[in-house]
């Protein structure tokens, strides 16, 4: 319980690598906020993780989604100790042929 009374935000914490990261933080006693888009996945993750898991649905590919997360954290009155920027994109193509559209469309993950 090395992270008792610490607060962590894990983006993309409802699935895959992010879920495993959220689980590790939770196991160490942290209060974890996970962000994803799909509320069903967020609910399933909360059930799976148990403990003091908080969820927030927001699309981090949009400015509005990012602003909603910032607002949520500010309103809670509890600052973050850790931010894990896990949600992202990966296009499995050579770097030099990644298009401008691909590099700015993070609604796809993997
Ligand atoms: N798996 C690999 O082999 C690998 C290798 C290298 C790098 N990575 C990187 O590691 C990270 C996690 O990969 P993963 O395989 O665990 O992915 P994953 O299983 O597809 O999980 C992605 C997570 O991010 C959320 N997400 C996706 N787009 C989002 C958005 N626009 N706004 C908010 N949340 C969003 C998803 O929830 P919703 O769909 O509900 O939004 C989900 O919780 C990614 O950044 C990926 O590029 C993965």
Nearest CA to ligand 1 atom 42: 12
Pairing of strands 31-36, 82-84: unpaired
Distance 108 CA to ligand 1 centre (A): 8
Any ligand 1 atom below 6 A from CB of 9: no
What digits encode the pLDDT tens for the residues 25-68? Answer: 999 999 999 999 999 999 999 999 987 899 999 999 999 999 99
pLDDT at 110: 40
Per-position DSSP letters for 40-107, written without gaps between them = HHHHHHHHHH-SSEEEEE--TTSHHHHHHHHHHHHHHT---SEEE--------S-GGG--HHHHT-TT
User: In this predicted structure, what is the pLDDT of residue 1?
Assistant: 79
Does ligand 1 have an atom closer than 6 angstroms to the CB of 90? yes
* pTM of this structure: 0.90
Confidence label for 109 from pLDDT (cuts 50, 70 and 90): very low
Looking at residue 42, its pLDDT comes to: 98
CB atoms within 10 A of CB 31: 21
Atom index in ligand 1 nearest the CA of residue 60 equals 32
Q: Is the pLDDT of residue 12 over 70?
A: yes
Question: Please, what are the domains in the chain?
Answer: 7-103 (3.40.50.720)
């Amino acid at each position: 319980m090395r992270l008792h009374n610490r607060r962590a935000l894990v983006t993309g914490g409802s699935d895959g690598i992010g879920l495993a990261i959220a689980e590790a933080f939770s196991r160490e006693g942290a209060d974890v906020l996970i962000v994803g888009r799909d509320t069903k996945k967020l609910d399933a993750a909360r059930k799976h993780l148990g403990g003091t898991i908080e969820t927030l649905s927001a699309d981090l590919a949009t400015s509005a989604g990012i602003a909603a997360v910032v607002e949520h954290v500010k309103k809670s009155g509890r600052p973050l100790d850790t931010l894990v920027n896990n949600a992202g994109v990966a296009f499995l193509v050579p770097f030099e042929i990644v298009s401008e559209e691909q590099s700015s469309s993070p609604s796809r993950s993997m």
